[in-house]
């Protein structure tokens, strides 16, 4: 599969990184020579310095034989232009990163006629992610499959967790009535993600990811030793596009939302558009202001200004005031892995969300969905099992699944089923698999006939 990525920023780099683990024929174009040099030194892809809207350059790297063109520069207009030109020159499929959410929901303009097959808005993805995190407030990471039939939930183990110092096998025996599979553990001072086996021991401060059917989510609190948080009052710092969309989404679900924006014109505009949101024109970095606005009574604090450091520091202040749930938007993807270390519940990066969403279009046809976990450089796949696929020939324990992968569950006829060693996968099943990058191609082979 030949893929061209226009834009070597965070989205483009992360996509290139995911692709570098495979045998994809990948090109990445950008004006910035320093970014391209960094990519050359770290990834196995082909870089090209120049203007991705240049017809000659696109022809030079074989746009007419390209399966997928990804336009993910910082400029929405540039991405549209690249997609339109690329499609006209023979690219089979184009995807453009956009900022205007109206384009996603319009039923008037058919953008495919102009050459843009699919569009993605990082801001919209981030707002949806925040809403989902608040709805599952005891956890700092959550991913739904098949409208919540199966879920992957992540949380940090505290000293009250009854599974501390138990092995994975012992924990399962201690809670036999709760259906769950531990698919990954991120441990302090350990760089490599742990794919747990039966003898893996849970330790204090482990960031643990469980795969659970919908009916077991509420019971999972017994395992982690936490009570279900009830989030009702939410304070949002920053009237950015993400802040606006988050307030809009939460008000629809009857949250009490208070939004702080220091730009007067922007604050007034948001107040006009969101009648159910209390908008305050002020500088949210002012501690006295936060006290005046009753930050201690907030259940959740969400910082989505354009400054990562402001967002992090504001969330730390909110946490010190007793706020139960804190979420900070960060631009630097290097920050993503330190959220629990510094005391913030969740750090999100809209570019990482966008890259993961785009990446599912690159996967082979068996993959129905793909998701990324915040603190782990890995993917969760949902495969559709085809007739005579290799995974249907033997029970799971005999499939020789790579050490870097684990089954998280099976959905059969709309019902969640646990995928333990003796389980036999069948055609038409939908299989959830957690997978580190180096094992992706091997896992995909199992789903081929």
- pLDDT digits 0-9 by tens, 373-419: 666 767 788 888 999 999 999 999 999 888 899 999 999 999 999 99
Residues 259 and 317 in one domain: yes
Residues 409 and 304 in one domain: no
Q: Name the residue among 277, 266, 325 with its Cα closest to residue 300.
A: 325
Residue 411 lies in a domain: yes
Phi, psi of 136 (to 5 degrees): -115, 65
More confident residue, 116 or 343: 116
Instruction: Tell me how far apart the alpha carbons of residues 119 and 103 are, in angstroms, rounded to a whole number.
Output: 8
Q: Name the residue among 116, 224, 240, 114 with its Cα closest to residue 180.
A: 224
Structure confidence at residue 22 (pLDDT) = 59
Query: Any idea how long the chain is?
Result: 449
Residue range of the domain that includes 255: 126-130+229-353
Residue 362: pLDDT band (50, 70, 90) is: low
Mean pLDDT over residues 216-230, rounded?
83
- Cα angle: 46, vertex 330, 436; to 5 degrees: 50
Mean pLDDT over residues 105-126, rounded?
85
Instruction: Tell me how far apart the alpha carbons of residues 35 and 10 are, in angstroms, rounded to a whole number.
Output: 10
What tokens appear for 11 in the block?
Answer: 């989205």
| Averaged pLDDT of the chain | 87
Residues 116 and 174 in one domain: no
Residues 233 and 204 in one domain: no
When divided into structural domains, the chain yields a total of 4
Mean pLDDT over residues 146-151, rounded?
85
Q: Name the residue among 138, 83, 108 with its Cα closest to residue 358.
A: 83
More confident residue, 136 or 368: 136
Residue 56: CB atoms within 10 Å = 8
Q: Is the pLDDT of residue 365 over 50?
A: no
Task: Enumerate long-range contacts of 414-421, CB under 8 Å, 24 or more apart.
Answer: 414/146, 414/149, 415/149, 416/149, 416/150, 416/179, 416/213, 416/214, 416/215, 418/179, 418/181, 418/213, 419/181, 420/181, 420/396, 421/395, 421/396, 421/397
Instruction: Tell me how far apart the alpha carbons of residues 196 and 283 are, in angstroms, rounded to a whole number.
Output: 45
Please spell the DSSP secondary structure of 150-200, one letter per residue: EEEEEEE--TT-TTTT-BHHHHHHHSTTS--EEEEEE-TT--SPB---TTP
Structure confidence at residue 339 (pLDDT) = 53
Residues 53 and 87 in one domain: yes
Residue 227: pLDDT band (50, 70, 90) is: confident
Strand-pairing partners, residue 379, are 372, 435
Percent above pLDDT 70 for the chain: 92
Q: Is 0.75 surpassed by the pTM of this model? A: no
Residue 359 lies in a domain: no
Residues 220 and 234 in one domain: no
- Give kind and range of the element (H or E) at residue 127: helix 122-135
Instruction: Tell me how far apart the alpha carbons of residues 180 and 162 are, in angstroms, rounded to a whole number.
Output: 15
Residues 46 and 116 in one domain: yes
Residues 211 and 289 in one domain: no
Residue 104: pLDDT band (50, 70, 90) is: confident
The domain boundary residue, chosen from 159, 189, 224:
224
Structure confidence at residue 56 (pLDDT) = 96
């Amino acid at each position: 599969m030949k893929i061209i990525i226009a834009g070597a920023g965070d989205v483009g780099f992360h996509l290139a990184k995911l692709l570098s683990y495979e045998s994809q024929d990948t090109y990445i174009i950008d004006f910035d020579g320093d970014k391209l040099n960094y990519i050359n030194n770290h990834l196995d892809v082909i870089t090209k310095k120049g203007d991705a809207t240049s017809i000659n350059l696109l022809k030079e790297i074989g746009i007419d034989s390209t399966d997928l063109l990804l336009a993910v520069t910082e400029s929405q207009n540039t991405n549209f232009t690249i997609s339109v030109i690329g499609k006209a020159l023979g690219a089979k499929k184009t995807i453009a990163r956009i900022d205007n959410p109206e384009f996603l929901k319009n039923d008037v303009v058919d953008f495919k006629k102009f050459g843009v097959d699919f569009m993605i808005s990082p801001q919209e993805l981030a707002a949806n992610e925040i809403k989902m995190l608040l709805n599952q407030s005891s956890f700092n990471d959550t991913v739904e499959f098949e409208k919540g039939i199966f879920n992957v939930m992540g949380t940090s183990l505290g000293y009250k967790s009854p599974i501390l110092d138990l092995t994975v096998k012992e924990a399962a025996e201690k809670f036999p009535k709760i259906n769950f599979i531990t698919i990954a553990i991120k441990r302090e001072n350990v760089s490599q993600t742990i794919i747990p086996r039966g003898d893996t021991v849970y330790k204090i401060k482990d960031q643990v990811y469980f795969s659970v059917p919908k009916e077991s989510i509420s019971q999972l609190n017994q395992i982690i030793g936490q009570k279900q948080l009830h989030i009702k009052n939410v304070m949002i710092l920053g009237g950015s596009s993400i802040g606006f969309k988050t307030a809009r989404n939460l008000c629809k679900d009857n949250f009490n939302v208070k939004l702080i924006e220091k730009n007067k014109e922007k604050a007034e505009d948001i107040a006009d558009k969101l009648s159910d949101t209390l908008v305050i024109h002020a500088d949210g970095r002012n501690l006295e202001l936060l006290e005046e606005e009753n930050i201690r009574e907030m259940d959740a604090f969400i910082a989505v200004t354009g400054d990562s450091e402001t967002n992090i520091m504001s969330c730390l202040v909110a946490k010190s005031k007793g706020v139960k749930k804190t979420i900070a938007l960060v631009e630097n993807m290097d920050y993503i892995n330190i959220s629990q270390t510094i005391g913030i519940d969740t750090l999100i990066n809209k570019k990482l969300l966008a890259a993961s969403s785009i990446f599912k279009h690159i996967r082979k046809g068996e993959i129905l969905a793909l998701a990324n976990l915040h603190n782990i450089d890995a993917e969760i796949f949902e495969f559709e099992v085809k007739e005579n696929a290799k995974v249907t020939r033997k029970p799971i324990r005999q499939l020789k699944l790579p050490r870097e992968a684990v089954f998280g569950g099976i959905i059969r006829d709309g019902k969640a089923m646990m995928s333990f060693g003796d389980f036999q996968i069948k055609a038409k099943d939908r299989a959830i698999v957690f997978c580190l990058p180096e094992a992706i191609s091997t896992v995909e082979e199992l789903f081929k006939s």
